[in-house]
Amino acid sequence: MTESQLCTQLFPPVAAAPPSERPLPDCVYLHDELKRKGVTLMLLWEEYQAEPPEGYRYSHFCELYRRWARTLRVSMRQVHKACAAFRPALRAFRRRILRLGVQTTEKRGVTDFSKRE
C-alpha cells in the first residue's frame, strides 16, 4: 500500500454538504411585523413553525434575522416643516417687543399708531 492510498483511506475526501432544504424566513416580512406593537420574534417564529414544521429552531431563526438586520442601513427620517419649532419662540418674542413698545410709547407721550380703534 502506497502512502497516497493510505492517506485517502485515513482521510477520505469531504463530500460537499447538501443544501439545506429548510425554508428561510422572510426577513423583510419579519422586520415590518416587528414594528407593530406587541409583536415579538417568538410570535413570528411560532407562525413560521406552523407553516413548514421542519423549519429552523428558534435560536437559529433569530440568528438568521439578526444577521439580515445588520445589513440594513440605519436612518431616522424626520419630516421637518418650515419654521415649526421657530414659530412659538417668534410669537413670544413679538409679545415681548409689543409689551416693551407700548410701555416706551406711553411713557414718552407718543401716540401708538399700530393700534387701530
d(CA 81, CA 59) in angstroms, rounded, equals 44
Contact 69, 63 (CB under 8 A): no
In this structure, are residues 52 and 61 in contact, taking their beta carbons and an 8 Å threshold?
Answer: no
Domain positions in the chain = 23-71
Tell me the pTM.
0.49
- In tens, the pLDDT along 19-49 reads 667 888 999 999 999 999 999 999 999 999 9
What value does the mean pLDDT take over residues 79-85? 71
